Amino acid sequence: MSLSFEAAIAAFSPNLPLAIGYSGGADSTALLLACAQKWPGQVSAIHIHHGLQAAADDFAAHSEAFCQRINVPLTVKKVDAKHELGESPEAAARHARYSAFSSKNMPVSTVFIAYATIKNIALAQHADDQVETLLLALSRGAGLPGLAAMPAAWQRDGIQYYRPLLQVSAAEIRRWLAAQTEFGQGGAPFVEDPTNTDESFTRNRIRAKLLPALDAAFSQFRDTFARSSSHAAQAQLLLNEVAVDDLLKTGNPPKIQPLQQLSDARMGNALRFWLKTTHQTTPSTAQLKQLIAQIKVCTTRGHKIHIKVGRGFVERKEAFIDWYNP
């Protein structure tokens, strides 16, 4: 069910102290300001300087000025978010952000707070972002992990992450910002990322063309799409439990012979889970199909397996397979 911005913040109960992933845009500005008001002295901000566009320095300067104005400590981290061949710009930027959140070795400019103390981070993705993520996954033929879209809470590299605005629309967030008249007639200030209107990016085309059409034809789509994503997430949890049981039998790294005792579907599920959880890589449908086929016919000592998966390779090593990144 869709929520007002106020209701979402009232229901949000994270561990403290809390850091907000703050870009300077409308969504993260609203989340930062509301959390700073709710938990004064317990909230800080992290700004990731991607360096991908000329306005990046301006975004950082705006973030510093706004955080000083509301008396919130700010950490600025510079990252290299350029994408590699075969990697989408979105995926590269996302990978760089999470690396920056978890790393203590990135270039940092810190005011008032030690970054090492941050163990809880809230991100400002909202209901429209969730729909865009689901539609993007459908456009790419994604499986359950893609259809599950974005979780409301999860752990990664020892950090607890939260997305408290997943039931709040983008329009509702901007309504709340405009009502913060202590900053002036226009409300709380924020920056507009010019790349958000660049329709060469699939997500931006979805935002510009599909969401207005869905709003006109089916105004409850945010709620129903979110429900579908929730069903997909529950189904994926069940598949993860099956994968854990199967990997207990195959070992880690998995042995070939026990893998061959599984059906193709269970073998693929176990391999996908192993690659994701152990090596943080995800095989394409074609790569996984090829890997399953090679494992099934691997019946002699001389049979070699060497398959590109993600940024690395799966290879046979005697009785088992393993993944490595050269």
Position 81 confidence tier, pLDDT thresholds 50, 70, 90? low
pLDDT of residue 290 exceeding 80, the answer is: yes
Residue (of 54, 229, 26, 260) closest to 124 by Cα position: 26
Angle between helices 264-279 and 221-250 (to 10 degrees): 90
pLDDT of residue 232 exceeding 90, the answer is: yes
Burial class for 75, CB neighbours closer than 10 Å (0-12, 13-18, 19+) = buried
Cα–Cα dist 248/43, whole Å? 41
CA distance between the termini of the chain: 46
Q: What is the DSSP string of 183-239?
A: G-TT-S-----GGGG-TTSHHHHIIIIIHHHHHHH-TTHHHHHHHHHHHHHHHHHHH
pLDDT, tens only, 113-170: 444 467 899 999 999 999 999 999 999 888 898 999 999 999 988 899 999 999 999 9
Position 198 confidence tier, pLDDT thresholds 50, 70, 90? confident
Cα–Cα dist 32/64, whole Å? 13
- Amino acid type, 67: C
pLDDT of residue 109 exceeding 60, the answer is: no
Percent of the chain with pLDDT over 90: 72
- SS3 call for 280: coil
CATH superfamily of 5-217: HUPs (3.40.50.620)
Q: Where are the domains of the chain?
A: 5-217, 251-324
| Count of C-beta atoms within a 10 Å radius of residue 103 | 13
Mean pLDDT, rounded, for 296-308: 94
